[in-house]
């Protein structure tokens, strides 16, 4: 984007992720995704050397003051705020690996998708023990939507993941991979399927992988995941206080904060400082002080707290809940960048995954400001 005179880039990201954008030409907005795990109803937008995920299909986005005009011949689009141009953005071209299908006819895009500019992301198991019951499901989650709409398949085999990862690396220059999963039944809580999937990918192509699962009951799984080829691990708190956890994610809250912290410490012993991270969704009900308190505890034990703004997804019980205001994000992310800096934890040192990608939050831009 051209220099935005009145606003630092990290605050512009907060604004865009809070308000979303409207697209004059919906076809210009790159490859957007709807439903599923991770950033849904978003598109990747690049300004300068920064790529961010911005909501385009959410209710707030339809009323956003930010409007993206049709692209010019070189693919740049002017973005305006309340009608005044503030710079230029670019969208991803459709990845080349999306044109391919497996021998049995499954489109590669139903197995994994491109996130941001150079991240391959997949949900290896598109069902979840939590999601099957309305009283247990996380209220913000849309993991079943893309499956119901036929845009993905329920279980991606290790061979399929390897085949698609190889193509994405060779055709589109993908640099790292995120593998998440719905939580299957059983004590491993997804760690086993992470192992099987990582083995399949690493047999086909050498790409750093972040695995994401709930804390397994047995800490032995951390070494097994590392041995299978997982380079970085995400175990996602989402909310940080017992009251909000019980309200927003009643099933997942059965795994206590105490167990998460034990698991974080054991995982850092295996994967190393900053190679373990956790997603925290700001805007679910925790206060900024509560979020920062937990982030301090995490940084102290070498875990990267990836704080992102909650974005409501249509069709979920929280679809009408607001995203946090940009000021709320700023008041968390600015001090959090200091906490990380003082703890010697940097997103750029992470081998793979969301905290390395950073496109779902302005946090890495706050970090860069401290490093420059």
Q: Rule CB under 6 A: is residue 121 a binding residue for ligand SF4?
A: yes
β-pairing, 84-91 with 76-81?
Answer: antiparallel
Please pick, from the candidates 343, 345, 359, 363, the single residue that binds ligand SF4 as defined by CB under 6 A. 359
Nearer to ligand SF4, 79 or 174 (CB): 174
DSSP 27-41: GGS-S-B-SBSSS-S
Q: Rule CB under 6 A: is residue 119 a binding residue for ligand SF4?
A: yes
CB of 38 to ligand SF4, least distance (A): 4
Binding mask 34-53 for ligand SF4 (x = CB under 6 A): ----xx-------------x
Residues near 92 by Cβ (< 8 Å), separated by ≥ 6?
30, 31, 44, 46, 114, 117
Nearer to ligand SF4, 264 or 304 (CB): 304
Distance set, CA 113 to CA 1, 309, 320 (Å): 25, 22, 27
Nearer to ligand SF4, 35 or 39 (CB): 39
Please pick, from the candidates 21, 23, 178, 213, the single residue that binds ligand SF4 as defined by CB under 6 A. 178
Q: What residues pair up with 282 in beta bridges, in sequence order?
A: 309
Alpha helices in 256-349 (DSSP H): 257-271, 288-300, 326-343
**Other Cβ atoms within 10 Å of 105 Cβ, number:** 6
Nearer to ligand SF4, 147 or 209 (CB): 209
CB 112, CB 165: distance < 8 Å = yes
Q: Rule CB under 6 A: is residue 142 a binding residue for ligand SF4?
A: no
Nearer to ligand SF4, 78 or 179 (CB): 179
Please pick, from the candidates 1, 106, 360, 362, the single residue that binds ligand SF4 as defined by CB under 6 A. 360
Q: Rule CB under 6 A: is residue 354 a binding residue for ligand SF4?
A: yes
**Other Cβ atoms within 10 Å of 296 Cβ, number:** 15
**Number of residues in contact with ligand SF4 under rule CB under 6 A:** 12
- CA–CA gap between residue 55 and residue 338 (Å, rounded): 27
Please give the residue ranges that form the binding site for ligand SF4 (CB under 6 A): 38-39, 53, 115-116, 119, 121, 178, 354, 357, 359-360
């Amino acid at each position: 984007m051209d220099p935005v005179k009145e606003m630092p880039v990290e605050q512009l990201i907060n604004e865009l992720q809070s308000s979303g954008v409207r697209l004059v030409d919906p076809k210009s907005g790159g490859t957007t995704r709807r439903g599923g795990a991770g950033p849904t109803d978003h598109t990747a937008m690049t300004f300068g050397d920064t790529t961010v995920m911005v909501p385009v299909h959410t209710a707030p986005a339809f009323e956003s003051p930010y409007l993206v005009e049709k692209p010019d011949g070189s693919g740049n689009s002017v973005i305006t705020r309340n009608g005044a141009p503030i710079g230029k953005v670019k969208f991803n071209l459709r990845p080349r690996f999306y044109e391919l299908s497996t021998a049995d006819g499954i489109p590669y895009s139903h197995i994994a998708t491109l996130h941001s500019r150079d991240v391959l992301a997949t949900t290896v198991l598109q069902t979840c023990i939590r999601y099957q019951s309305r009283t247990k499901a996380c209220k913000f989650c849309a993991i079943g939507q893309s499956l119901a709409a036929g845009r993905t398949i329920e279980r991606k085999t290790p061979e399929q993941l390897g085949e698609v990862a190889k193509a994405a690396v060779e055709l589109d220059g993908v640099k790292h991979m995120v593998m998440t999963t719905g939580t299957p039944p059983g004590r491993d809580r997804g760690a086993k399927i992470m192992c099987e999937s990582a083995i399949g990918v690493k047999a086909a192509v050498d790409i750093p992988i972040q695995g994401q699962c709930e804390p397994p009951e047995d800490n032995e799984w951390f070494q097994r995941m590392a041995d299978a080829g997982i380079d970085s691990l995400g175990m996602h708190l989402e909310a940080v206080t017992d009251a909000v956890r019980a309200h927003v994610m009643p099933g997942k809250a059965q795994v206590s904060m105490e167990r998460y912290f034990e698991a974080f410490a054991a995982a850092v012993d295996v994967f190393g400082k900053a190679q373990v991270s956790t997603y925290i969704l700001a805007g679910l009900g925790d206060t900024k002080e509560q979020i920062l308190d937990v982030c301090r505890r995490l940084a102290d034990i070498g875990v990267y707290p990836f704080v992102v703004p909650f974005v409501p997804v249509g069709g979920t019980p929280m679809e009408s809940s607001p995203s946090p205001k940009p000021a709320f994000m700023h008041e968390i992310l600015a001090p959090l960048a200091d906490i990380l800096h003082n703890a010697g934890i940097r997103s750029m040192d992470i081998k793979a995954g969301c905290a390395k990608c950073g496109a779902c939050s302005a946090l890495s831009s706050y970090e860069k400001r401290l490093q420059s």
